[in-house]
Each structure stands twice: as structure tokens, then as C-alpha cells.
Amino acid sequence: MAPRAMTRLRKRIMRQAGAAKTRNCNGAAQREIGYRSLSLVHMLAALRLVSSVLLLCLFASAPAHADDSWAVRNQADLEQARSLRDQAAAESAQIEHDRVVGEAECASKILVNRCRDRLNDALVERSKALRDKEVAAGKLERAVKAREVAAREAERESGQAERDRVRSEDAEQNRKDDAKRRQEIANKQAEHNRQLADGPARAQTELSKRAAKDAELAQKRAHAAEAAAKRAAQARADKEAYERKRAEYAAKHPAAAAQSAAQAAP
């Protein structure tokens, strides 16, 4: 081979080696950046998880009222679900980043397909773990919704029980009032029937009382008339006796009688 051709071949080999070395360096740098990004994402997710756990511990240690227990638990579950979804979102972004970096690395290797298969297998496993977090977050959110529905249903049933109690009391009071009115009507009707049944006897009694009063009044009038007749007869008898005595006195004493008559004259 000519020296010039050998020189060109040597330069070409050196350029290819330099390009391969550059690709390897770039791939290593990209992996380093990906690992650092992944570490940062995991650190943030861990901090969120720790804060959620601390929040749960705080809620568990605080003496919450019974009416607030549902709200406390729901808040804690929603915080945990939000943390899981944040972790899943960060992991998804990291998986996509690692896919791009891995594809670039595999393109520079001799066994490109084998490299891509291994990359896909690793990413699939990581995607499964990501989906597990999303499923766990979904379960927590559904549990919160179920508890909210149960709380609303319990509140509705409690209100319904109170309304049923009031309705039952009103119905019982209405029943008592109706029974009282019916009894009053029955008593009035019985009194009316008794008065109708006692009417003839009461009328006869009234007639008897009136006849007795009339007889008593007639007797009193008869007694009064008899007494008046006796007084009149006595008055006449007294007058006749007086006249007789006067006549006898005049017969015995004519002068005195004449003087008395003269004095009595006007």
C-alpha cells in the first residue's frame, strides 16, 4: 500500500476512535447527570413522604374530636396520595429522561438491539413500580371518597332518624288529640241522649212542682182572704158594739150627749 494511502487510513482510524471516545464520554456525562437528577428527585419525594408521615403522627397524637376524626384521616390520606403521585410523576419524568440517554448510548454500541432490550426491560420494571405508586394513590383517594360518602350518608340517616322521631311524636300527639275530641263528642252525645230520655220525667216533675206552687199560692190567698174577712167582720162587730154603747150612754146622759154632738159638729 502506498505511504499516502496508509497515512489517510491511519487518520481515518484515529478520527473514528476519537469520535467513539467522545460518544462514550458524552454518554458517561449524561448518565452522571441522570443519576444526579434521579437522586434529587428521590430526595424530594422522600422529603414529601417524611412530611406526610410526620403529619400523620401529628394527627394521631393530637386529641381530635370524634366529629373531626374523618376529616383528619381524609386529610392524611390525601396528603399521602399526593406524595405518591408526585413521586410517580417525578419517576415518570426520570424514566423518560433515562430512555433518551439510554437510546443514545445503545446507538453507539455494537449490539444495539440487545442494549435496547435490556434498557426497555429495566425501564419496564421501573414503570411497574411507578404504576404501583399510582395504584396506591388511587386506592387512598377512593377510600377518602368512600368515607366522605359514608359520612354524608350517616349524616343524612341521622337527620332522617330525627325527622322520623319528630314525625312519630307529631303523629302520636295528633292521635291523642283526635281521641280526646272523639271522647268529648261522645260525652256530649251521651249527655244529649240522657236529656232526651229524661225529658218526659223532667217535664212531669216540673209540672208537679208548678202545681204544688200553685196550690200553695192558692192556699195562701185563701188564708189571706179568710183573715181579711175575719178582720172585716171584727171591725163591723166592734163598730156595732161602739154604736150600741154610745146609744146607751146617750140614753142615760142626754145633756152630755148633746154637748158632745155640738162639739163634734163643724
**Cα gap 12→185, rounded to integer Å:** 125
**Which domain range does residue 45 map to?**
3-166
**Cα gap 212→141, rounded to integer Å:** 102
What b/e string do you get for 211-248 counting C-beta neighbours within 10 Å, with b at 16 or more?
eeeeeeeeeeeeeeeeeeeeeeeeeeeeeeeeeeeeee
Asked, for residue 115, whether it belongs to a domain, the answer is yes
Query: pLDDT for 95-112, tens place per residue?
Result: 999 989 988 999 888 888
Asked, for residue 154, whether it belongs to a domain, the answer is yes
The pLDDT > 70 percentage for the chain reads: 70
Asked, for residue 160, whether it belongs to a domain, the answer is yes
pLDDT given for residue 237 in this prediction: 86
pLDDT given for residue 52 in this prediction: 46
pLDDT given for residue 11 in this prediction: 52
**Cα gap 24→35, rounded to integer Å:** 16
Instruction: Say if CB 73 and CB 141 are below 8 A apart.
Output: no
Asked, for residue 54, whether it belongs to a domain, the answer is yes
Asked, for residue 175, whether it belongs to a domain, the answer is no
Asked, for residue 226, whether it belongs to a domain, the answer is no
**Cα gap 78→231, rounded to integer Å:** 125
The count of domains in the chain is 1
Asked, for residue 260, whether it belongs to a domain, the answer is no
| Residue whose C-alpha is closest to residue 91's, from 136, 138, 38, 24 | 38
Positions in the chain whose pLDDT score sits under 70: 1-68, 256-266
Asked, for residue 189, whether it belongs to a domain, the answer is no
Query: pLDDT for 113-132, tens place per residue?
Result: 999 999 899 999 998 988 99
